[in-house]
Chain A
Amino acid sequence: AQTVTQSQPEMSVQEAETVTLSCTYDTSESDYYLFWYKQPPSRQMILVIRQEAYKQQNATENRFSVNFQKAAKSFSLKISDSQLGDAAMYFCAYRSPIQGAQKLVFGQGTRLTINP
């Protein structure tokens, strides 16, 4: 079974600075999908970025980028120019491509605080 580990329960960063959230995962599959979701106090889980394991290029979405290290099974999220609205719980998630097994497996989350 796949597992996802986020080793940083809490992180804080000054507004406008850069922060990196860590995620490692365990799987025996060679093809899969990785996601970062953001959950603000409103509770709704919002997709931040996704990465297909077969792609060598790291995904980027505006101020958000990932460092995907397949051999190390590492998938970190970098947030540049942090803004107050980035404050939230961030969850790393893994999904298998196999039909009937497309559940998301989540990590425990990292609470990100932005200091003004």
Chain B
Amino acid sequence: ETGVTQSPTHLIKTRGQQVTLRCSSQSGHNTVSWYQQALGQGPQFIFQYYREEENGRGNFPPRFSGLQFPNYSSELNVNALELDDSALYLCASSLQMSQETQYFGPGTRLLVL
């Protein structure tokens, strides 16, 4: 069974640029959730995708957008990067059933200069 994978591991961008982060869900999982974890904080929910549609969104501006593909992998896109976007971005996959646990990938560390 393949776990959740994310790419890239680290990324450095400049303020105003755009970034795309990628996530491959665990085998058999059809739901992907994205979280932002600032340094020293707990993760904050960005949004969730189920069968290629957004299925819940946290308190993040529209410049945070996502996609889910037919193979259930997902992308997180952030436009017009700001310094405060520097964080660890975590992807988690699960089955879309109310009792299912979310399993996390290793994260992408984004630094915005």
Contact = CB atoms under 8 A, between A and B. Distances in A.
A38 B21 CA distance: 23
A49 B101 CA distance: 10
Contact of B56 (A33, A46, A52, A101): A101
B99 A42 contact: no
B101 A47 contact: yes
A109 B94 CA distance: 22
B35 to A, nearest CB: 7
B98 A102 contact: yes
Contacts of B45: 103-105
Given A44-B107, A45-B43, A104 B99 contact: no
Contacts of A44: 104-107
Contacts of B104: 37, 44-46
A44 B37 CA distance: 12
Interface in B15-46: 33, 35, 41-45
A35 B100 CA distance: 11
Question: Which of A95, A98, A107 is most buried by chain B, counting CB atoms within 10 A of its CB?
Answer: A95
B90 interface: yes
Nearest to A44: B106
A52 B98 CA distance: 11
B88 A43 contact: yes
B86 interface: no
A107 B107 contact: no
Nearest to A106: B42
A46 B104 CA distance: 7
A25 interface: no
B48 interface: yes
30 contacts: A4-B42, A33-B99, A35-B101, A42-B106, A44-B105, A45-B43, A45-B90, A45-B92, A45-B107, A46-B104, A47-B103, A52-B99, A91-B42, A91-B43, A95-B102, A97-B99, A102-B48, A102-B94, A102-B98, A103-B33, A103-B45, A103-B56, A103-B58, A104-B33, A104-B43, A104-B92, A105-B45, A106-B44, A109-B41, A109-B42
